[in-house]
Amino acid sequence: MKTKSINFKLLSLMISAFLLTAVSVILLTDRQINKIIDKSQYETYSEKADSVIGFISRNYQSLQDTLMVEAYEEQFKSKAIETMRSDYYKDMGPHKYIYPFIIDGAGRVVMHPVLAAGTDMSKIDFIKQIIAEKNGCLNYYYDGQQKWMTFKHFEGWNWFVGYTMPLDVKYADSHQIRNTLILIVSAIATIIVSVLTIILTKFTKPITELTKVSAEMAAGKLDSRINVNRSDEIGVLAKSFEKMREAVKDQITLIRQKNIEQTQTLEQLGNEVAERKKAELELEKINKDLEKIVDDRTSNLAETIEKLNSEVAERKRAEETLRRSETKYHMLYDTTSDAIMMLGDGKFFDCNKSTLEIYGCASVEEFCSKHPADFSPAKQPGGEDSLTLANKQIAIAIEKGSSHFEWVHKRADNGKEFLADVLINAMELDGKKVVHTVVRDITEHKQQDIIQKRRINYQNTLLKMAKLENVEMDDTLKAIIKEDADTLGVERVSVWFFNEDKSAINCENLYTLSKKTYEKGFTLQAADYPVYFRSMGDTRIVAANDAWTNPHTREFTEAYFKPAGITSMLDVFIRVCGTVVGVVCHEHVGPMRQWTLEEQEFAASVADLVSIKLEAFGHKQAEENMKELNNELEQAVKKLEETNQELKNFVYIASHDLREPLRKISAFGSMVQKSLSGKIDGDDAENLNFMIDGANRMTKMIEGLLAYSRVSSKANSAETVNLNDIVDQLRQLELSVLLEEKHTTIDIPQPLPEVDADPVQIRQLMQNLIANGMKYQAKGNTPQITITSRPAADGMARINITDNGIGIKPEFQQAIFIMFKRLHSKNEYEGTGIGLAVCKKIVERNGGKIGVESEPGKGSTFWFTVPLAKTVMDNTELVQNSQKELL
Ligand code: ADP
């Protein structure tokens, strides 16, 4: 904690008290002075305002005296103001901010050094206050300045005279007095602080001294002395302190003495303890050394024991291994299927069990009693003498350590020979050179090898056959039977196929191996060989080792086998889609032959291959036929398209070109009719009429044809068409005359939908159907046409055009859509019979259908369907969906 000296505290207290008093005095004085100034200024400026009012009232009185107040009032006012302005405002000098002014009762300026007379100031707060209070003084803020004024009221003219000045001018004297006061107070404060500091320092010095000596004593300096020679209370305090210091010093010196003595005793004790500890440490060290020596000896002993143990274990292991390997060797020796024998000095002296079995000996003694030459034929397959060759192999083994070769052996019991794999090892046994021989019978192994090789050969042949890519079936068959004969080594291989009614088989091809020739054209009748033909359906393969006696084949012996020298037969029947269609025959010439399983399998695969090839050729043939048919079809379609185009062009051009002469006939006919009018009679006139009528009709028919051909030749793409608009246009243009003539109305109860169609064609369609409805009416009947619509399947709209006409019998309701089909003569109803054919074509081109529902005498409804416009469909879907949602 920071200590503040008494000096500082007292000084701060006194200065604060002084400053507080000084500030209070200054403030009070200032207020008092201001009050005095306020009073004296008010009196002064009230007088000044009174003098102004005095001047005004004099003028006022003079005006009253004239007895013509109204006449001279303004003049008097102006004059008074003018005089006052020149008195007060001219040469305003340093007091230019102290001036009088006048306003009237309405707050307007009457006289002011700056503001013009008449300026309205009634809205300003201090003006309002002046008018309300009439006499007095106030502080106010105007024109960026804090001001003060006194004001007086002159009742005569209801004027208010104000005398104004800035506030700082008003209080200038007061400010000066205040500043002087502050200066004086500051000076007094400085003096007081200095004097106080000196007094306090003197007063507090002994205390400081006391504090210092106390601190030194606490730090151990017992000789510090206090230098205070005073007779007051502080001097007494200092002396008492000095006495106390002396007493404390004596006490402390005594205690220190005792301390030194005790310390010396402790030191002695410490030395003794240290010496004892040293002796203990030495003892401990000697113990440790002893322990170490004991440990070392013990561990050496343990190591030696461990070594001995591991040596014993190692020896045991080696013995065990030896025992095991001996057992293993004996097991191997006795249980192996290989013959193992030992030969020394040209004689066998040991052999295993397998040796006895392989060589046909009853005991080891019997085997060892025999000479090695007894177990071999005289010669080996290479023609070399067995004994010489055997000695050669032994010599190689002795020289090189071992010899490996194949050897033909002979059993001792039955003399049967067998091929063996022999491994000879030369070695030393008890200082003697001996031969250790391992013999393995490989006869079976060799045979398996041969079979395997044959199988691979068969597979390769089949693969070769499968890859054959002959254009003609005949060539393929030839190649197959040749490969077959070569692979199996069969003299005659042939392929036979049934005739159509399966009453015979015809030889498609026969290959003779020795001659390398092909033959064909033989036939075998089912009636002659019934058993064989029956077996064709029952079995897949006939393997007759002895063909002459085999129940399936013996029928052929006399007539077929014997003349050709055939002894064995291997026949496999060819099936296509489960039906037997022929046979692959293998005919062996010479001694009878055993057909092995592999040979039979191979032959069966050959037959399968023939079947596959047959099918492939069948497919190929079918494909080619199909291709040809397609080509023909394409040609026909192309031709048809060309013919169609030609026809269209012809119809169009012909219709065009035909109209010209017809128009001429009609025109000139009419001219002749006119010029001969009255000159020709009866029949001639009628004939001429017929001619002109005929020409006109022909023209109409041609126009109809043109319209028909235009439907497909001049079709526009579909667009959204409003059917209501179409009917309106027809009403106003194409059908307007007819509708008027026949007093017909077209009724559309519900608006028709928008559809996607060719607009020109749909207009033509509607026109034809409405016109027909008006035309085919009973005499005197007023036609009535109604057009309705309803949605149809697949986004179509069905449009119905109903009339109240003569109707159509059911049997004609289809026919009327055929070109030129009419149900009435031209005398009954004009027409060409083309209109409805055009309608049909238009509807079909727009993807719709057309038809009629009618009852004779009750009118007809012609209907057609047309695709609804896409927008209509979307809206319909929308409505349907929202209906669903509502439900
Ligand atoms: P056209 O009217 O020129 O004879 P169309 O092809 O238009 O040829 O009509 C073929 C035939 O179908 C007509 O001759 C008529 O007998 C019959 N027909 C067409 N429309 C109607 C109908 N609204 N009422 C009765 N019969 C009709």
Per-residue pLDDT tens over the stretch 586-611: 999 999 999 988 899 999 999 999 98
Q: Ligand 1 within 6 A of 835 CB?
A: yes
Find out whether 465 and 483 touch, Cβ atoms under 8 Å: yes
Residue type, 440: R
pLDDT digits 0-9 by tens, 240-258: 777 877 877 787 778 778 7
Please tell me the predicted confidence (pLDDT) of residue 334.
77
**Distance from C-alpha of 633 to C-alpha of 674, rounded to nearest angstrom:** 60
Mean per-residue pLDDT for 331-337? 79
Task: Report how far ligand 1's centroid is from the alpha carbon of 18 (Å).
Answer: 138
- Percentage, residues of the chain above pLDDT 90: 35
Q: Which atom of ligand 1 is nearest to the CA of 821?
A: 10
122-131, 291-300, 311-320, 513-522: which range is least confident on average? 291-300
Tell me which of 776 and 577 has the higher pLDDT: 776
**Distance from C-alpha of 85 to C-alpha of 91, rounded to nearest angstrom:** 11
Q: Ligand 1 within 6 A of 504 CB?
A: no
Residue 545: phi and psi, rounded to 5, are -65, -40
Give me the count of residues in the chain: 887
Dihedral angle over CA of 783, 784, 785, 788, nearest 10: -160
Query: Which of 700, 776, 860, when mutated, tests ligand 1's pocket best, judged by the most ligand atoms within 8 Å of its CB?
Result: 776
Q: Ligand 1 within 6 A of 700 CB?
A: no
Q: Ligand 1 within 6 A of 795 CB?
A: no
pLDDT at 718 over 90: no
Q: Which atom of ligand 1 is nearest to the CA of 807?
A: 25
Task: Report how far ligand 1's centroid is from the alpha carbon of 742 (Å).
Answer: 18
Tokens of 521: 């054209």
Task: Report how far ligand 1's centroid is from the alpha carbon of 474 (Å).
Answer: 69
- Beta-carbon contacts of 377 under 8 Å, excluding residues fewer than 6 positions away, are 386, 408, 410, 417
Task: Report how far ligand 1's centroid is from the alpha carbon of 179 (Å).
Answer: 133
pLDDT at 387 over 80: yes
Nearest CA to 789 among 729, 872, 732, 878? 872
**Distance from C-alpha of 125 to C-alpha of 132, rounded to nearest angstrom:** 11
Give the C-alpha distances (Å, rounded to integers) separating 762 from 98, 203, 370, 597, 758.
Answer: 108, 135, 121, 82, 6
Q: Ligand 1 within 6 A of 773 CB?
A: yes
Query: Computed from CA positions of residues 450, 452, 458, 460, in that sequence, does the dihedral angle turn out positive or negative?
Result: negative
Q: Which atom of ligand 1 is nearest to the CA of 803?
A: 23
Q: Ligand 1 within 6 A of 704 CB?
A: no
Tokens of 655: 């219709």
Nearest CA to ligand 1 atom 13: 822
Per-residue confidence at 785, pLDDT binned at 50, 70, 90? very high
**Distance from C-alpha of 605 to C-alpha of 582, rounded to nearest angstrom:** 14
Q: What does the buried/exposed string (b/e) look like for 104-115 if buried means 16 or more CB atoms within 10 Å of the residue's CB?
A: beebebbbbeee
Tokens of 430: 């008890």
**Distance from C-alpha of 561 to C-alpha of 556, rounded to nearest angstrom:** 6
pLDDT at 738 over 60: yes
In 68-171, where does DSSP find H-type helix?
69-88, 125-133, 167-170
**Distance from C-alpha of 353 to C-alpha of 335, rounded to nearest angstrom:** 8
Task: Report how far ligand 1's centroid is from the alpha carbon of 422 (Å).
Answer: 113
Highest mean pLDDT among 338-347, 526-535, 645-654, 857-866: 857-866
The DSSP call for residue 146 is: E
Task: Report how far ligand 1's centroid is from the alpha carbon of 716 (Å).
Answer: 27
Q: Ligand 1 within 6 A of 772 CB?
A: yes
Please tell me the predicted confidence (pLDDT) of residue 470.
65
Residue type, 533: F
pLDDT at 154 over 90: yes
**Distance from C-alpha of 225 to C-alpha of 215, rounded to nearest angstrom:** 12
Residue 138: phi and psi, rounded to 5, are -160, 155
Query: Which of 823, 839, 854, 855, when mutated, tests ligand 1's pocket best, judged by the most ligand atoms within 8 Å of its CB?
Result: 823
pLDDT at 515 over 90: yes
Q: Ligand 1 within 6 A of 832 CB?
A: yes
Mean per-residue pLDDT for 100-122? 90
Please tell me the predicted confidence (pLDDT) of residue 879.
52
pLDDT at 675 over 90: no
Find out whether 197 and 7 touch, Cβ atoms under 8 Å: yes
- Beta-carbon contacts of 753 under 8 Å, excluding residues fewer than 6 positions away, are 723, 789, 797, 868, 869, 872
Find out whether 666 and 695 touch, Cβ atoms under 8 Å: yes
Task: Report how far ligand 1's centroid is from the alpha carbon of 580 (Å).
Answer: 67
**What's the whole-number average pLDDT of the chain?**
86
DSSP string, 435-466: EEEEEEE-HHHHHHHHHHHHHHHHHHHHHHHH
- End-to-end Cα spacing for the chain: 92
Nearest CA to ligand 1 atom 12: 816
Element containing residue 861 per DSSP (H, E): strand 860-867
Q: Which atom of ligand 1 is nearest to the CA of 771?
A: 23
**Distance from C-alpha of 21 to C-alpha of 711, rounded to nearest angstrom:** 126
Find out whether 872 and 754 touch, Cβ atoms under 8 Å: yes
pLDDT at 400 over 80: yes
Tokens of 241: 């302190």
**Distance from C-alpha of 191 to C-alpha of 199, rounded to nearest angstrom:** 13
Nearest CA to ligand 1 atom 14: 822
Tell me which of 541 and 2 has the higher pLDDT: 541
- Beta-carbon contacts of 545 under 8 Å, excluding residues fewer than 6 positions away, are 568, 592, 593, 594, 595
The DSSP call for residue 7 is: H
pLDDT at 883 over 60: no
Per-residue confidence at 175, pLDDT binned at 50, 70, 90? confident
Q: Ligand 1 within 6 A of 10 CB?
A: no
Tokens of 493: 């291989």
Find out whether 588 and 566 touch, Cβ atoms under 8 Å: yes
Highest mean pLDDT among 20-34, 312-326, 501-515: 501-515
Q: Ligand 1 within 6 A of 839 CB?
A: no
The DSSP call for residue 92 is: -
Nearest CA to ligand 1 atom 3: 831
**Distance from C-alpha of 495 to C-alpha of 511, rounded to nearest angstrom:** 9
**Distance from C-alpha of 479 to C-alpha of 509, rounded to nearest angstrom:** 10
Residue 146: phi and psi, rounded to 5, are -90, 120
**Distance from C-alpha of 611 to C-alpha of 883, rounded to nearest angstrom:** 68
DSSP string, 546-576: STTT-TTTGGGIIIIIHHHTEEEEEEEEEEE
Q: Ligand 1 within 6 A of 776 CB?
A: yes
Tell me which of 184 and 713 has the higher pLDDT: 184
Please tell me the predicted confidence (pLDDT) of residue 787.
97
Query: Which of 703, 711, 772, when mutated, tests ligand 1's pocket best, judged by the most ligand atoms within 8 Å of its CB?
Result: 772
Tell me, rounded to whole angstroms, the distance of Cα 806 from its chain centroid.
70
Tokens 């022929």 -> residue:
582
pLDDT at 308 over 70: yes
Q: Which atom of ligand 1 is nearest to the CA of 837?
A: 6
Please tell me the predicted confidence (pLDDT) of residue 192.
79
DSSP-derived 3-state class of residue 511: strand
Please tell me the predicted confidence (pLDDT) of residue 858.
94
Please tell me the predicted confidence (pLDDT) of residue 817.
95
Q: Ligand 1 within 6 A of 816 CB?
A: yes
pLDDT digits 0-9 by tens, 196-227: 778 777 777 777 777 787 777 777 777 777 77
Nearest CA to ligand 1 atom 11: 822
Please tell me the predicted confidence (pLDDT) of residue 2.
43
Please tell me the predicted confidence (pLDDT) of residue 677.
82
The DSSP call for residue 868 is: B
Find out whether 426 and 397 touch, Cβ atoms under 8 Å: yes
Q: Ligand 1 within 6 A of 805 CB?
A: yes
Q: Ligand 1 within 6 A of 808 CB?
A: yes
Find out whether 571 and 586 touch, Cβ atoms under 8 Å: yes
pLDDT at 714 over 70: no
Tell me which of 880 and 637 has the higher pLDDT: 637
Please tell me the predicted confidence (pLDDT) of residue 367.
92
Task: Report how far ligand 1's centroid is from the alpha carbon of 833 (Å).
Answer: 7
Tell me which of 365 and 312 has the higher pLDDT: 365
Please tell me the predicted confidence (pLDDT) of residue 335.
80
Tell me, rounded to whole angstroms, the distance of Cα 382 from its chain centroid.
79
23-27, 348-352, 710-714: which range is least confident on average? 710-714
pLDDT at 153 over 90: yes
pLDDT at 180 over 70: yes
**Distance from C-alpha of 464 to C-alpha of 472, rounded to nearest angstrom:** 17
Angle (deg, nearest 10), helices 443-466 and 597-675 = 10
**Distance from C-alpha of 110 to C-alpha of 117, rounded to nearest angstrom:** 5
- Beta-carbon contacts of 782 under 8 Å, excluding residues fewer than 6 positions away, are 742, 743, 744
Nearest CA to ligand 1 atom 21: 772
**Distance from C-alpha of 129 to C-alpha of 138, rounded to nearest angstrom:** 9
Per-residue confidence at 275, pLDDT binned at 50, 70, 90? confident
Task: Report how far ligand 1's centroid is from the alpha carbon of 831 (Å).
Answer: 8
Task: Report how far ligand 1's centroid is from the alpha carbon of 851 (Å).
Answer: 12
DSSP-derived 3-state class of residue 84: helix
Query: Which of 836, 838, 843, 858, when mutated, tests ligand 1's pocket best, judged by the most ligand atoms within 8 Å of its CB?
Result: 836
Nearest CA to 779 among 735, 836, 827? 827
**Distance from C-alpha of 93 to C-alpha of 274, rounded to nearest angstrom:** 112
Task: Report how far ligand 1's centroid is from the alpha carbon of 834 (Å).
Answer: 9
- Percentage, residues of the chain above pLDDT 70: 95
